[in-house]
Amino acid sequence: MQASIETRDLTRRFGSFIAVDRLTLRVERGEVFGFLGANGAGKTTAIRMLCGLLQPSSGTGKVAGCDIQTETDGIRSRIGYMPQKFALYPDFSVEMNMRLYGGLYGLKGQALRDRMDVISRLLNLEPLLSQRTDSIPWGWQQRLNLACAILHKPEILFLDEPTASVDPVSRRHFWDIIAELAASGTTIFVTSHYMDEVEYCGRVAILVQGRIAALDTPVGLKTTYGHASLGEVFLDVVERAQTTSSTQ
């Protein structure tokens, strides 16, 4: 079976700084893949390369069957990207934002209206459609953000800290939706600083200074490192990798 995401030695340098260092990974279709790392570990740089928004310095990669260097247009129509920073128009209504994003992804007419119906039902956004985006609570704004990223039925969904500052109850609902999307075959590539959420992922990679320092299922990671929670595993992996690099 063809992988959803496959990279080999993917590297990105900024001057002498190596932000992503020989990243090699394979993510299968319908997998929920957690991509962790400290701030500045290279997560966002890696995601931007996978989304075709940033050219790698070296290495290769395919996303949804498209080459990340030469077929970036193909990638963009097949993926959804929910960036870390809120990217919707605060003074537009919820519906206007959905129409705008649907249009940007090439949906129009009846097809766009049908998808907007389906998605607003899926995310319970129906009663909010006419409200100004900045007037609804933050957790719901993030739902709208997700709605805009999945209107065009992407094969792969990239979520960069989708639940930052979202309360535990709303986070729970957000993950229900993610689980439904994954069950219907969408590949999910997600970063988060909430270690309890990371437990919901099928596999988890921990990035330290641009390199994958650990990659396994949550249970595998806890067994290997001998910790009860992924939070402890994370601190352990990051500290070990940093000690190694500072003694070099």
Binding footprint of another protein on the chain (CB under 8 A): 37-41, 84, 124, 126-128, 135, 137-140, 161, 164-170, 172-173, 175-176, 178-180, 193-196, 199-200, 218-219, 222, 229-231, 234-235, 238-239
Nearest distance from C-beta of residue 60 to another protein, angstroms: 29
Using CA atoms of 169, 171, 176, 178 in order, give the dihedral in degrees to the nearest 10: 170
Residue 64 or 123: the one with the smaller Cβ distance to another protein is 123
Nearest distance from C-beta of residue 66 to another protein, angstroms: 29
CA nearest neighbour of 138 among 165, 161, 100: 165
**CB-based burial label for 140 (10 Å; 0-12, 13-18, 19+):** buried
* SS3 of residue 21 by DSSP: strand
Residue 144 or 238: the one with the smaller Cβ distance to another protein is 238
- Would you tell me how many other CB atoms lie within 10 Å of the CB of residue 110? 8
Residue 195 or 212: the one with the smaller Cβ distance to another protein is 195
* DSSP category for residue 136: S
Nearest distance from C-beta of residue 117 to another protein, angstroms: 15
Residue 71 or 196: the one with the smaller Cβ distance to another protein is 196
Residue 12, token pair as written in the block: 């990105």
CB 148 within 8 A of CB 174: no
Nearest distance from C-beta of residue 162 to another protein, angstroms: 12
Q: Residue 176 and residue 24: Cα distance in Å, rounded?
A: 29
Residue 14 or 108: the one with the smaller Cβ distance to another protein is 14
Nearest distance from C-beta of residue 51 to another protein, angstroms: 20
